[in-house]
Every structure is written in C-alpha cells, then in structure tokens.
Amino acid sequence: MYLNELKDKRILILGFGREGTDTLKFLRRIFPKKIFGVGDRLEFKSLDKPVQILLRKTLAGKKVKLHLGKNYLLALKKYNIIIKSPGVPLKIIKPYLKKRQKVTSQTEIFFENCPGKIVGITGTKGKSTTSSLIYKILKEGGVSAKLIGNIGKPALSYLWKAKEKDVFVYELSSHQLQFIKKSPQIAVFLNIFPEHLDYYENFKDYIKAKSNITRYQSKNDFLIYNFGNKLVREIAKKSKVKKIAFGGKYYQQDFKAAEIIGKLFKIPKKKILKVIKKFKRLPHRLEFVGKFRGIKFYNDSLSTIPETTILAMETLGKNIQTIILGGFDRKQNFKKLVKKILNNKIKTVISFPATGERIWRDVLALTKGKKIPKYFLVQKMVDAVKIAYQYTEKGKICLLSPASPSFGIFKDYKERGNLFKQYVKRYGKEL
C-alpha cells in the first residue's frame, strides 16, 4: 500500500507490540495531524511500560483512539484501513470485516514504498541465522546493508530515511508475507514444514503465505532456494524468475544461501569465507552447552516442530542417549519423530506437557510395551536436568529439542533454553 493511499483514510493499528508501536511512530511522522486508532487484546495496564508512555503522549495530544481489552475487535467497523501486526491471526478478525475495508501490514507498506533493494529471507526454520549471516557478509563487502524484520529493527523505522543505495536484509515470517503484493528483488527460500497450524485455517494457507516471497517477483529478480525441500522445490518450479538452487544438510543451508548472496553482490570469496569462518550460530539452535560429568549437552530450544528435532538427531548421530521433549500443543503429527527416537535407541525420554504425553502415547502404540525407553513427565526444567544427569552415561549426549512451542510452562523458547543451560552448568559442578 502506497503512503498517498493512507492520506484520507481512517486507520486502525491492530496489535500494539514492537511492530505496532513502530508503525504508529512512522505514521505520526508522515501524518502529524492525523488521529489513529490503536487496538489490542491487552488492557492498558498490561501493555509494556514503554508502550504505555508512548500512548500517554499521543493521548495528551488527542491524536489516538484506544480500543483495548477483550472487545477490541468491535472497533474494526469504524476504520477503512487496518494495519495488522503479525501476531494477530487473520481468521479471528474476518468476522468483523466489511467489504470495502482493507487489511494491510507494516511489511506491505515497506515493500511498496522502499526505494532500496530488499533481500527477503523466509523458511519455517533457519531465517534468523541466515539473515544475520547475509547481513554480515554484505557489510564486510562494503554494502550499505540494514538488518530488519524479526531479527533486526522493525522495518518502518528505516523507511523515512531509506535511499536507493541501501540494501535491506529482511527476515520474513509467514505472517509478514501474508498481505504483500510485491515480492523482494532477491528472495531466499529455505524450507517449509508444518508450523503455526493454530494461526492459519489450514496448512495450505500457511504455504500460500510463504509463497508470496516469490509470487510477485519479476523475471529480472532472483530466487535462491533449497532444492532439498520438496515444497520449496514445487513453489520454485512455478516461478519465472532467475533461480539459483542449493542443497545440503539442514545445518548447512544458511551458509550456502549466504554464500550465493555474497556472490550476487560481487563480494570477493575471501571476504565471504572470512565471515563464515568467524560466524557464531545464534543461541538455542543446536547450541553446544558443554561437557559436564562426561556428558555432552546440546540446547536446541528453538526446535518447535518435530521435523527440526529429527534433523537435530540426524546431525548428532547415535550418541544421543537422553532427549528432552514437549511443550505447547499445536496438533502436530509426531509419528515420524517417535520412529526416529526408537530407531536411534534413545534410552531416556524426558517430557513436558502437553505434547510430551502425546509423544509418549505414540511410543507405547508403536512398541506395544516392548523395549521402551525410560520415561519421565516433568513440570520444571530443573527436574528435567536432574533426571538427565542421573540417567545419561559418560560419553553420551543429552539433547533438549522439544519439537513443540514453549508457551504454557515457559515464557518463550529463550527462557526454556536459558534455564536448561543454567541448570546444566549448576548441577554439572555438583558431584
């Protein structure tokens, strides 16, 4: 959506977290006299303190109308344009929409109005690492690169001062891609696995949203894609752009994609390899915590789907003796993961509710009670780590790779991974 289309419209910013606040700040700069609506499911007192301060300032100037709390969606009927934050599922607002209303997003506004070049990166897993690596390579090569999106700053904080020479490395979730009608000039497509099934109507809708990264590309644009992922391969086949395929194991895809981007920008191979050699993987992604009491511990807390837990197990091999699984239930299928656990002859399964219990029922169904691993259901990370020390032999591996989101017991995957590391180190010193 172009900025001049917003001039005479009644605008509601729906979802007022990190991206929503950035959107209000940007639009206030463009339209200083305009009154904006702000809608969020949280009451004012439950919003983050910086958000409260921002809203108090705008309320004082009578430049914002608040629609907060459980009935916040009723406000939709009062506005022409709804700028939806990624965390608000489209399916929950559909019943409140009228025919002539337009739902857009910060990402669509940025794409339509950005004068620079966009390198967009998407995939169910690996986006953050790949985006970070591409950004570092471009900077090393002297490119005027900016890291934006989920891993960097919100996009609109850069738009008002963006120049043609700028290259924006944009990490793009399916939620951010959902409304775009213009794709990035350079798209990187890593993989697609079943994810966010509670957010979309079905898996097809999720695939459709992801596909937008290349759907609107021109014949002179580039698609760098993972040939090893079947769904990505099928999407790439339909695209008419310049295509560059890469393959390789899951934990190598980020390096391969980043190297290709470096070459496209004519960055010397020596500089590309320098960055790759120095690059440290982001935390909670098959992160080696250390060797304690002879046991190797790996933190793969960002593994929120069964497919990535399987890939982690394939990477670490047969030395995994203990695995810590489970979390929030998004109705995923764990049958392949269970087969992998049994084929790898893992001896101890430690699980968190609710999916941990589902995984264990699948284990019992497949083994019918014969040669089953030891099983423990826990509510706290400290208990999981204590059990792991008790039942993992020296020279073997304990892997935290939950195959599920963290919500419920933990605030997020970071808290889950950090608690794992904290207790591993604490009890590793006690004999």
pLDDT at 430: 63
What span, in angstroms and rounded, lies between the C-alpha atoms of 5 and 9?
A: 8
The 10s digit of each residue's pLDDT in 88-116 is: 998 899 999 998 899 999 999 999 999 99
Residues 123 and 148 in one domain: yes
Average pLDDT rounded to a whole number, residues 287-304: 96
CATH number of the domain that residue 311 is part of = 3.90.190.20
CATH number of the domain that residue 48 is part of = 3.40.50.720
Residues 136 and 266 in one domain: yes
In this structure, the number of other CB atoms found within 10 A of the CB of residue 73 comes to: 17
Of 380 and 371, which is predicted with more confidence?
380
Cα-atom radius of gyration of the chain, to the nearest Å? 23
Residues 160 and 299 in one domain: no
Average pLDDT rounded to a whole number, residues 63-81: 95
End of a domain among 243, 278, 313?
A: 278
What span, in angstroms and rounded, lies between the C-alpha atoms of 335 and 323?
A: 16
pLDDT at 268: 97
Asked if residue 334 belongs to a domain, the reply is yes
Average pLDDT rounded to a whole number, residues 276-286: 91
Residues 41 and 162 in one domain: no
Residues 218 and 327 in one domain: no
The 10s digit of each residue's pLDDT in 220-259 is: 999 999 999 999 999 999 999 999 999 988 888 999 999 9
Asked if residue 2 belongs to a domain, the reply is no
Residues 258 and 151 in one domain: yes
Q: Which domain holds residue 168?
A: 111-278
User: Burial code of 377-403, b = ≥16 C-beta within 10 A, e = fewer?
Assistant: ebeebeebbbbbbebbeeebbbbbbbb
* pTM, two decimal places: 0.89
What span, in angstroms and rounded, lies between the C-alpha atoms of 339 and 425?
A: 31
pLDDT at 289: 96
End of a domain among 70, 104, 138?
A: 104
Is the peptide bond preceding residue 403 cis, with omega within 30 degrees of 0?
Answer: no
pLDDT at 194: 83
Average pLDDT rounded to a whole number, residues 117-123: 97
In this structure, the number of other CB atoms found within 10 A of the CB of residue 93 comes to: 18
Average pLDDT rounded to a whole number, residues 365-391: 92
pLDDT at 280: 86
Spatial contact of 232 and 189, defined as CB atoms under 8 Å apart: yes
Asked if residue 1 belongs to a domain, the reply is no
CATH number of the domain that residue 227 is part of = 3.40.1190.10
Asked if residue 31 belongs to a domain, the reply is yes
Average pLDDT rounded to a whole number, residues 112-128: 95
N-terminal to C-terminal alpha carbon distance within the chain: 62
Spatial contact of 271 and 141, defined as CB atoms under 8 Å apart: yes
Number of domains comprising the chain: 3
Residues 349 and 264 in one domain: no
The 10s digit of each residue's pLDDT in 148-192 is: 998 888 899 999 899 999 999 999 999 999 989 999 999 999 999
Chain CA centroid to CA 220, Å: 28
Q: Does the CA dihedral 219-224-227-232 come out positive or negative?
A: negative
Q: How far is CA 176 from CA 199, 404, 422, in A?
A: 13, 22, 33
Residues 129 and 238 in one domain: yes
End of a domain among 278, 313, 335?
A: 278
Asked if residue 187 belongs to a domain, the reply is yes
Asked if residue 194 belongs to a domain, the reply is yes
Residues 138 and 80 in one domain: no
pLDDT at 153: 86
User: If pLDDT is split at 50, 70 and 90, which confidence band does 200 have?
Assistant: confident
Residue at token pair 């509670």:
198
pLDDT at 75: 96
Residues 324 and 260 in one domain: no
Residues 323 and 183 in one domain: no
pLDDT above 80 for 197: no
User: If pLDDT is split at 50, 70 and 90, which confidence band does 215 have?
Assistant: very high
Contacts of 129 (CB under 8 A, 6+ apart): 254, 281, 282, 285
The 10s digit of each residue's pLDDT in 319-334 is: 999 999 999 998 889 9
Residues 81 and 33 in one domain: yes
Asked if residue 4 belongs to a domain, the reply is no
Asked if residue 361 belongs to a domain, the reply is yes
